Amino acid sequence: MVFEDLTGPISAKKHPVKVFFLGIFFAFVASAFSMWIFKQEASLVMVFLVVLMAMPLMYFTLKEEEEEDWVIDTEASILNEHGKAVKFLFALFLGFVVGFAFVYVVLPDDLVHALFGIQLVTIDNINSNVVRNLGIGGVTFMGNLGSIDSAVISGKLTSSEAFTLILINNLKVMFFCLIFAFFFGAGAIFVLAWNASVISAAIGTYFRNGLANYAHLVGLERIAIHLQLFVAGVLRYMTHGVFEIIGYFIAALAGGIISMALVNHGTKNKGFRKIAIDVSILIVIGFLFLVIGSFVEVFITPLLF
């Protein structure tokens, strides 16, 4: 398979920027093939193709991290290696987001709705449910299976209540990543690829809505405002999203490591206790990242955007 040979965990740890551009490339290829061959189901096929392309890297990463748990002595060194893996996996995710968002903003409306139709419906449904049931105004869905983005919080919820709500929803996604990785190995990449596509749809919508205010500009001014809006759209969702996505990847690593340890060595091996401790620490660290992300989402992001 061609995509297996593009990079591996060892190379990716050394060159996370390369992985970022690889994520953009995967997003472009998935978008093109889904529109070319499966136009009627392009929204889901696009995500499925990205998962197929990223699956080898995710699988070998989980395998590599599990093997390192057995050969590296100190927990600090193990966590350092896990950190390198999370770093390049986040770069891959960010590449998905930038690639999908670019596709969203450059394509005409009919192709956008073909490629991101389900994602847009998901955003609308979550927003309407939140506004109707919780009385929150100006809420947008960030794409993580029920999590909300409190860019503007008003109505019945206080900031502390919104923080609790967002944290609970983020924990649900973390649980999904953990379970998917445990039962399906590299399958956790599906949850994250889906998130990337929905975040990209939100960024693209933000871009197009903002662009309407600058329709009169031409030349370099128009190019500059395009770039400014695109960057602002990415930052709007990734200011807090960076912490949340890192938390999800840490959970995916934890689930994949414990799954492979059980399959390859079983629970009776004397080294399994070391694996269990490492996985427990990873889950706690992932939780802390979600707490930080939820705090930033409620109290910091609204001040910036």
Q: How many CB atoms lie within 10 A of CB 102?
A: 19
The Cα–Cα gap between 202 and 266 comes to 43
- Chain segment 183-229, per-residue pLDDT in tens: 887 777 888 899 899 889 888 888 887 776 665 555 666 667 767 77
Q: Look at residue 145 in the predicted model and tell me its pLDDT.
A: 40
Q: Look at residue 32 in the predicted model and tell me its pLDDT.
A: 93
Are 174 and 248 in contact, with CB atoms under 8 Å apart? Answer: yes
The Cα–Cα gap between 205 and 260 comes to 40
The predicted model scores a pTM of 0.82
The Cα–Cα gap between 50 and 93 comes to 11
Q: Look at residue 205 in the predicted model and tell me its pLDDT.
A: 85
The Cα–Cα gap between 87 and 92 comes to 9
Residue 288 clears pLDDT 90, i.e. is over it: yes
- Chain segment 134-157, per-residue pLDDT in tens: 443 333 334 444 444 444 444 455
pLDDT band of 68, cuts 50, 70, 90: confident
3-class DSSP state of 148: strand
The Cα–Cα gap between 91 and 118 comes to 25
Are 132 and 126 in contact, with CB atoms under 8 Å apart? Answer: no
Question: Taking all residues of the chain, what is their mean pLDDT, rounded to a whole number?
Answer: 80
Residue 97 clears pLDDT 90, i.e. is over it: yes
Q: Look at residue 224 in the predicted model and tell me its pLDDT.
A: 74
3-class DSSP state of 135: coil
pLDDT band of 47, cuts 50, 70, 90: very high
Q: Look at residue 221 in the predicted model and tell me its pLDDT.
A: 65
Q: Which two tokens stand for residue 39?
A: 């136009």
Residue 110 clears pLDDT 60, i.e. is over it: yes
Residue 173 clears pLDDT 70, i.e. is over it: yes
What does the CA dihedral 238, 243, 249, 255 come to, rounded to 10 degrees?
Answer: -150
Q: Tell the residue number behind the tokens 């891959």, with chain if given.
A: 92
- Residue 257's φ and ψ, nearest 5 degrees, are -65, -45
Question: Which residues is 149 bridged to in the sheet?
Answer: 140
Residue 275 clears pLDDT 70, i.e. is over it: yes
Range from 39-48, 73-82, 180-189 that averages highest in pLDDT = 39-48
